[in-house]
């Protein structure tokens, strides 16, 4: 499991390549019926890798069909309907199943326990992101100096997908401005235009912090209230903005609700009031 953008699919391709086999890629929502899964499994060759992204979104009926395939490399198929229905078992070639998820808690225990190993991908460090940016720049045939790559890495939210996305937008900016090389100055101008600050926060991240501080005077705020005040969906706040803000220590979750921290005040350049009365706005 891992948060979005850390390279789960890429890692599956690397595993297949190291094993010298083919890989079939699909996702949980794409497998709507048991027949869809049966078609995938019966078309695998010996040793192939089947990669299921967002595996926590598998249909429960499909999940039941997957159990014997994982345990016995067999597929149970029901032929016919009613009293005349009968079950036959088809042998499958031995294959490797890799499942990826952003929410491991939503995978049912029977499915989770059938995997031989469970791993979690961690966020990338600044040096690792710098190497990714320099490599991506070569693929894009774009020149970028190391200092500029370090600046971009520091604002990429520890995530390669975001680093590559920002690199492409900075490249576009450099081309429009007529620059042959992405320098420190170019990258700062481009990121300022994109409204990405020194910590990698965008305008929506800052809007959440500003709402907590200005509209609610820094008091704890419930998720529903915060979503209504910012015009964001609750899932967007909890899945996209909140994890990064908490990881940086700019926001905290208390029993009474969300609250900006002292670091959050400092980042926005706002003086935090002392000894203010804490009120719950759930």
Catalytic annotation, residues: 8-9, 53, 102, 161
DSSP secondary structure code for residue 124 in this structure: P
CA dist 3 and 121 (Å) reads 8
- Helices 146-154 and 126-139 cross at an angle (nearest 10°) of 120
How do beta strands 96-99 and 49-53 pair? parallel
- Helices 203-210 and 223-230 cross at an angle (nearest 10°) of 120
What count of residues does the chain have?
282
DSSP secondary structure code for residue 197 in this structure: -
Please report the beta strands in the chain, taking only residues with DSSP state E, as ranges in sequence order: 23-27, 49-53, 74-79, 86-91, 96-99, 143-144, 181-182, 251-254, 257-260
Could you give the 3-state DSSP secondary structure of residue 61? helix
DSSP per-residue string spanning 34-45: HHHHHHHHHTPP
Q: Which residues, at least 6 apart from 161, have a Cβ–Cβ distance to it below 8 Å? A: 4, 5, 6, 7
- Between the two ends of the chain, the Cα-to-Cα distance in Å is 31
């Amino acid at each position: 499991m891992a948060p979005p953008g850390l390279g789960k699919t890429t890692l599956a391709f690397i595993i297949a390549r190291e094993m010298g086999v083919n890989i079939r890629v699909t996702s949980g929502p794409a497998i709507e019926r048991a027949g869809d899964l049966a078609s995938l499994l019966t078309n695998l060759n010996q040793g192939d890798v089947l990669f299921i992204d967002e595996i926590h979104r598998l249909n429960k009926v499909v999940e039941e069909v997957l159990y014997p395939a994982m345990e016995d490399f067999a597929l149970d198929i029901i032929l016919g309907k009613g009293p005349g229905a009968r079950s036959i078992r088809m042998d499958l070639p031995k294959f490797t199943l890799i499942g990826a998820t952003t929410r491991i808690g939503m995978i049912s225990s029977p499915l989770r326990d059938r995997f031989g190993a469970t791993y979690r991908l961690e966020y990338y460090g600044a040096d690792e992101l710098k190497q990714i940016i320099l490599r991506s720049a070569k693929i894009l045939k774009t020149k970028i100096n190391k200092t500029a790559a370090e600046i971009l890495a520091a604002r990429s939210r520890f995530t390669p997908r975001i680093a590559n996305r920002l690199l492409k937008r900075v490249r576009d900016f450099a081309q429009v401005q007529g620059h042959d090389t992405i320098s420190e100055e170019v990258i700062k101008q481009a990121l300022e235009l994109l409204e990405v600050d020194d910590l990698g926060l965008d305008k929506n991240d800052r809007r959440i912090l500003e709402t907590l501080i200005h509209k609610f005077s820094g008091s704890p705020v419930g998720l529903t209230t915060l979503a209504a005040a910012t015009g964001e969906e609750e899932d967007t706040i909890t899945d996209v903005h909140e994890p990064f803000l908490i990881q940086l220590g700019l926001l905290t979750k208390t029993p009474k609700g969300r609250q900006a921290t002292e670091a959050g005040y400092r980042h926005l350049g706002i003086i935090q009031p002392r000894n203010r009365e804490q009120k719950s706005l759930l």
